[in-house]
């Protein structure tokens, strides 16, 4: 009986922590922009993002100033300086090569 209560409590706590972290990963577009297939304008534009549209931030690479995002079911890249966060963003690491690059967004 104790074991079931423990696992139920642990699952509930994990679910609550995940929800809180997810809320911090949302950014808003400062203006209309393109969603690119990679972290530069050299990649193809794959969608348009409208002013104040919300985006789920996967991670950012400070070296190039771009963030990987999810928007309307599509995954792509936007310039990080064109995003604003309604809440303090979470710590994220993004793997651009074989080693992870740790950044705070």
What is the model's pTM? 0.62
Lowest mean pLDDT among 24-28, 64-68, 71-75, 87-91: 87-91
Task: Please tell me the class of the 25-104 domain.
Answer: mainly beta
Per the structure block, which two tokens stand in for 29?
A: 């577009």
With CA atoms as reference, report the closest residue to 84 among 11, 26, 6. Answer: 26
- Where are the domains positioned within the chain? 25-104
Is residue 83 classed as helix, strand or coil in its secondary structure?
Answer: strand
State residue 101 phi and psi, 5-degree precision. -105, 120
What does the pLDDT look like over 35-63, one tens digit per residue? Answer: 999 999 999 999 999 999 999 999 999 88
């Amino acid at each position: 009986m104790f074991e079931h209560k423990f696992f139920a409590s642990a699952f509930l706590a994990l679910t609550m922590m995940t929800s809180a972290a997810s809320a911090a990963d949302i950014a808003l577009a400062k203006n209309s922009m393109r969603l690119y297939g990679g972290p530069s304008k050299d990649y193809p534009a794959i969608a348009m993002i409208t002013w104040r549209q919300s985006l789920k931030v996967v991670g950012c690479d400070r070296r190039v100033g771009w963030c990987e995002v999810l928007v309307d079911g599509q995954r792509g890249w936007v310039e990080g300086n064109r995003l604003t966060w309604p809440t303090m963003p979470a710590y994220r690491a993004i793997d651009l090569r074989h080693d992870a690059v740790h950044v705070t967004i």
